[in-house]
Structure 1
Amino acid sequence: MPVDSSRLRELIILQLSDGTLSEDECLELEQLLQSPEARILRAQIYERHQQVAAAVDRIDVDSSYQLYEYERHDRRSRRQRAVLMAAAGISLLIAIGAYLWSERPTNAAPPIQGMGITLADGRQIPIVGDTNLVISSDLSLPVSKRQLRFDLVKESQMPEGLNSFTTPVAMDYQVLLHDGTQVWLNSSTTIRFPFVFKGDVREIYVDGEAYIKVAKNATMPFVVHMPEGSVQVLGTTFNVNCYKHDRPAVALVEGKVRLQVQGLSTDLQPGERAVVNAGIINVDQFDPGELSWINGVYVFENANLEDVLEVLPHWYGVTVTLDSPAIAKKKFSGAIYKDRSVEEFLDLIEATAEAEYYYRGTEVHLR
């Protein structure tokens, strides 16, 4: 089941604030952290807490006030405003505190109209708000808080064949499959799946990015097909990213998976990530915070700008053109939040990555 992120945030922040929790609260926190999704969120909160502490240590109150006075009388570039925001300690604490305590607004927002499922027979069933998804006169599926559930419906009611569902730009969605498998779909991601798994194997198809927690069934293996390969599991938690068909990546959180792509094969252990590039599978360790997109944030540590900018088309519907190849290799450390504007993120790039953005008509460029 989805993590109670609101309660988890509350307990973690109470622990960070004074280090004391009651015995019952400690037990509750320990139980919540059994979930990989909860541990990812904890890592994200810890990182933000450390950033706040480091930023406060660096604040020069007198200099910040002088910069404020200068900016108030002479507003210049967006970069100056971004630097000013980073230096204003009180505002920073308020902003981070609000982020840590609150839920993401996008989690509570209803799905947009026009989104729906395409059934195996070609029919398109719209999803509007949190109303039930009506498949037929005797079959409807519950829809709430960006989640579709197929686990509550009797197998005899389900039509056969592969159905298709796509998350639009700037949205994410969760699908709970009939066997109990949970699939978090990132923006601009398509999943094809049967309403009920039959036969000797459970198979789904993903194009985009998905975080998957497979329901265990040793007698019925689970296979995730990507445009250029597949992942085989028995029961595990992992992330697949195939936005770039020629560079699929799989990160394993729990269990064991086998990646098969382009005639190559490799087994992963928890904490390992495999990236396919130019006919070679490279395996390395990854930070669980890198999978925090399921909580509405991408965290980057000393990443190339070309890799960072790959997120923008999916989360904001914006593509940034680089004016020179050298900009692609500039480094960026920071976070992208889905519930904040793309301009705020681009201002952060200007302030930290020595690159300036500008508009040419409606196109965004970096120089």
Structure 2
Amino acid sequence: MLCVFTLKYSSVETNKSKIDQLLQKYQEGNCSLEEIEWLQQALSTTDTSEQDAIDQALVASLLRPSSVGKMEESRLKIILETIKKQIQQGKEDNDNLLEKGGEDRMPIQKKTIISMRWPYWAAAACLLLFVFSVIFWQQQTSHTLADRNLAGLEDTKDDAVQPGGNSATLRLADGTVLELDKQASGIVMGENITYENGQSIADALSKQGQQMDPSKAMLELTTPIGGMYQITLPDGTKVWLNAASSLKYPMAFAKNERKVILLGEAFFEVTKDSSRPFKIHSKGQEIEVLGTTFNVNAYPENTAIKTTLITGKIKLSNDNRASQAIYLQPGQQSTNTNNGNIQVANVDTAPFTAWKDGLFYFDETPVSDALQQIGRWYNVEVRYKGEVPQTHFYGRIKRNKSLRDVLDVLEEGGLHFELSKGQEKNILLVTPLQ
């Protein structure tokens, strides 16, 4: 409901209270256009005797942190600081005039003060109205802006740019491929395979296990582009599989070791078993643990494997190079390049594990890395007009947002995006803003 104010307020405290109330209402994102216009009128026509009191209400309100989030915070701060400087400059000019004048010139000074105070109040009011109006306009036209920023979006289907979700296939030991339920988030290995709610998936597994050594009966869980899934392995180890990834594992682990093969990205929460080390092979790298939590990013198109340790301890080496094994401590990340060199660094682990909790987490992330994540999750092919921009992204975005919403945020980093249809998949064209 829009409230229109038609009453005039005469007292200083009433005006101060009313302006402060409306500014607070704006902070909460509930200020209507009519209320914004009333503010502009009140600020530009306030009597000189009331202005000092109104100054305090205005400045105090402007310096509150914005909670509406409708405009980029850095831009809003710049505008608010400009308003504050305008107000402060006006006060200083008036104070200087008073200090220079004598008692015999008081009538002239008073007249001058009134005429001099108007410019900074006018500037403050206009700037304030600009801030309010832009944000109000953004509230009303956010969908229009998103459509304009994605020039080719009208040529694609809405479901083509929706976020990914639970999706995977399971290849059994005999080659049978099962499409897993998208309404479920994961599967549990046992005598049979079940979803997390206990619903059976494949009773035939028990028969397969009777026909061969279960430690050699290999299964493969695979997620498509735009999919993720969880699995609880036979020993109780939990694995979160990111988009475009696969995990090969046996129906039952051997007595002396637990071994899996990873392609892509996964987060592991390994059940502790000191008698059977848990080993992950991926792109020529072997990780050995007894019980710990960590993330492995080993996509085939990447030039390096990144292993990020959260808790416990990791032994990491390249295949057939056990003498060059290294150990990671919590909070460390190894970068294993294609030439076999392994470097270790201390990192904030959150950006590398946030995906399993439903977040894009960018912390000085190169644009190419960020858009690679987005391309996998939204099933789009990323192309660049010219060279790859040398910019970085910061911040967190929920992975359940539509592609429009995500790109609208990323455009604040100085990029422009166009989405169009390709022969096999949608194409996201990235262009630096001029």
TM range (shorter): 0.5 to 0.7
Aligned equivalents of 2:261 and 2:255: distance in 1?
A: 17
Aligned equivalents of 1:64 and 1:331: distance in 2?
A: 27
Which of these two proteins has the greater Rg computed from alpha carbons? 2
Q: Is the 8 A contact 1:162 1:192 kept in 2?
A: yes
1:358 aligns with 2:418: yes
Residue 81 of structure 1 and its aligned partner are, at CA, apart by: 8.5
In structure 2, the CA distance between the partners of 1:124 and 1:67, relative to structure 1 (3 Å rule), is same
Greater shift, 259-268 or 139-148, is seen at 139-148
1:242 aligns with 2:298: yes
Describe the superposition over 1:190-224 as per-residue Cα deviations: whole angstroms up to 9, x where unpaired.
Answer: 00001210131110011011100111111111100
In structure 2, the CA distance between the partners of 1:70 and 1:129, relative to structure 1 (3 Å rule), is closer
Describe the superposition over 1:149-199 as per-residue Cα deviations: whole angstroms up to 9, x where unpaired.
Answer: 99xx99996762111110122222111111111111111110000121013
Aligned equivalents of 1:120 and 1:317: distance in 2?
A: 29
1:276 aligns with 2:336: yes
Aligned equivalents of 1:168 and 1:74: distance in 2?
A: 31
Q: Is the 8 A contact 2:146 2:405 kept in 1?
A: no
SS at match of 2:195: coil
1:142 to 176, 190, 194: 194
Aligned equivalents of 2:66 and 2:386: distance in 1?
A: 31
1:209 to 249, 262, 265: 265
Partner of 2:20: none
Q: Is the 8 A contact 1:167 1:187 kept in 2?
A: yes
Residue 127 of structure 1 and its aligned partner are, at CA, apart by: 2.4
The letter of the residue matching 1:289 is: A
In structure 2, the CA distance between the partners of 1:261 and 1:145, relative to structure 1 (3 Å rule), is farther
Q: Is the 8 A contact 1:170 1:338 kept in 2?
A: no
Q: Map residues 67-146 of structure 1 onto 2, 5 A cutoff.
A: 67-68=134-135, 78=146, 111=166, 115-128=168-181, 140-144=192-196
Q: Where in structure 1 are there 5+ consecutive unaligned residues?
A: 1-49, 83-104
The letter of the residue matching 1:365 is: L
The letter of the residue matching 2:193 is: L
Partner of 2:94: none
In structure 2, the CA distance between the partners of 1:220 and 1:254, relative to structure 1 (3 Å rule), is same
What is the aligned-residue RMSD (CA, Å)?
4.1
Partner of 1:255: 312
In structure 2, the CA distance between the partners of 1:139 and 1:234, relative to structure 1 (3 Å rule), is closer
1:195 to 251, 255, 273: 251
TM-score, with structure 2 as normaliser: 0.56
Q: Map residues 1-367 of structure 1 onto 2, 5 A cutoff.
A: 55=73, 58=77, 62-68=129-135, 78=146, 111=166, 115-128=168-181, 140-144=192-196, 160=214, 161-243=217-299, 244=301, 246-261=303-318, 263=321, 264-277=324-337, 279=339, 280-290=341-351, 291-327=353-389, 329-351=390-412, 353-359=413-419, 361-362=421-422, 363-367=427-431
In structure 2, the CA distance between the partners of 1:76 and 1:143, relative to structure 1 (3 Å rule), is closer
Aligned equivalents of 2:392 and 2:277: distance in 1?
A: 41
Aligned equivalents of 1:51 and 1:67: distance in 2?
A: 14
Partner of 1:17: none
Residue 356 of structure 1 and its aligned partner are, at CA, apart by: 1.0
SS at match of 1:319: strand
Aligned equivalents of 2:294 and 2:283: distance in 1?
A: 17
TM-score, with structure 1 as normaliser: 0.66
SS at match of 1:356: strand
Aligned equivalents of 2:143 and 2:403: distance in 1?
A: 21
In structure 2, the CA distance between the partners of 1:129 and 1:200, relative to structure 1 (3 Å rule), is same
Aligned equivalents of 1:313 and 1:344: distance in 2?
A: 14
Q: Is the 8 A contact 1:359 1:365 kept in 2?
A: yes
In structure 2, the CA distance between the partners of 1:78 and 1:126, relative to structure 1 (3 Å rule), is closer
The letter of the residue matching 2:261 is: Y
Larger helix proportion, structure 1 or 2? 2
Aligned equivalents of 1:294 and 1:134: distance in 2?
A: 16
Aligned equivalents of 2:199 and 2:392: distance in 1?
A: 36
SS at match of 2:260: strand
Q: Where in structure 2 are there 5+ consecutive unaligned residues?
A: 1-64, 81-127, 151-161
Partner of 1:30: none
Describe the superposition over 1:85-110 as per-residue Cα deviations: whole angstroms up to 9, x where unpaired.
Answer: xxxxxxxxxxxxxxxxxxxx999x7x
Percent identical: 24
In structure 2, the CA distance between the partners of 1:268 and 1:199, relative to structure 1 (3 Å rule), is same
Aligned equivalents of 1:229 and 1:250: distance in 2?
A: 10
Describe the superposition over 1:222-264 as per-residue Cα deviations: whole angstroms up to 9, x where unpaired.
Answer: 1001022111111111110001454111000111112212745
